[in-house]
Amino acid sequence: MEVSSRFVLLVVLILIAVLAKQSLAAKHAVGGSQGWDESTDFNSWASAQTFKVGDELEFKYTAGLHSVVELANESAFKSCDIGTSLNSFNGGSNTIKLSKPGTRFFACGTSGHCQQGMKVKITTAAADGSSPSSSSSATTPPSSPGATPSTSAASSHQLRFISFFALVASLVVYFI
Ligand SMILES: *[C@@H]1O[C@H](CO)[C@@H](O)[C@H](O)[C@H]1NC(C)=O
Question: Distance between CA atoms of 150 and 156, rounded to whole angstroms?
Answer: 10
The rounded Å distance from CA 81 to ligand 1 centre is 10
Please choose from 82, 84, 86 the residue to mutate so as to test ligand 1's pocket, defined by most ligand atoms within 8 A of CB: 84
Give the number of the atom of ligand 1 that is nearest the alpha carbon of residue 86. Answer: 5
* Residue 25: Cβ within 10 Å count: 18
pLDDT of 161 higher than 80: no
Which residue would you say has higher pLDDT here, 165 or 59?
A: 59
**Residue 43 DSSP SS3:** helix
Nearest CA-CA partner of 119 in 61, 72, 70: 70
Which residue would you say has higher pLDDT here, 6 or 131?
A: 6
Question: Distance between CA atoms of 99 and 76, rounded to whole angstroms?
Answer: 22
**Strand (E) positions, 83-137?**
87-89, 93-97, 102-107, 119-125
The rounded Å distance from CA 45 to ligand 1 centre is 26
Question: Distance between CA atoms of 59 and 94, rounded to whole angstroms?
Answer: 5
Lowest mean pLDDT: which of 15-29, 122-136, 153-167?
122-136
Q: Closest Cα to atom 14, ligand 1: which residue? A: 73
pLDDT at 21: 62
pLDDT of 143 higher than 50: no
Question: Distance between CA atoms of 76 and 151, rounded to whole angstroms?
Answer: 37
Cα–Cα–Cα angle for 88, 75, 118, rounded to 5 degrees: 50
Cα–Cα–Cα angle for 95, 99, 104, rounded to 5 degrees: 75
pLDDT at 69: 97
19 pLDDT band (50/70/90 cuts)?
confident
The rounded Å distance from CA 114 to ligand 1 centre is 18
Section 35-56 average pLDDT = 94
139 pLDDT band (50/70/90 cuts)?
very low
Q: How far apart are the first and last CA of the chain?
A: 9
Question: Distance between CA atoms of 31 and 108, rounded to whole angstroms?
Answer: 13
Q: Closest Cα to atom 10, ligand 1: which residue? A: 73
Ligand 1: does its nearest atom lie under 6 Å from the Cβ of 73? yes
- Give pTM, 2 decimals: 0.64
174 pLDDT band (50/70/90 cuts)?
confident
The rounded Å distance from CA 102 to ligand 1 centre is 16
The rounded Å distance from CA 71 to ligand 1 centre is 9
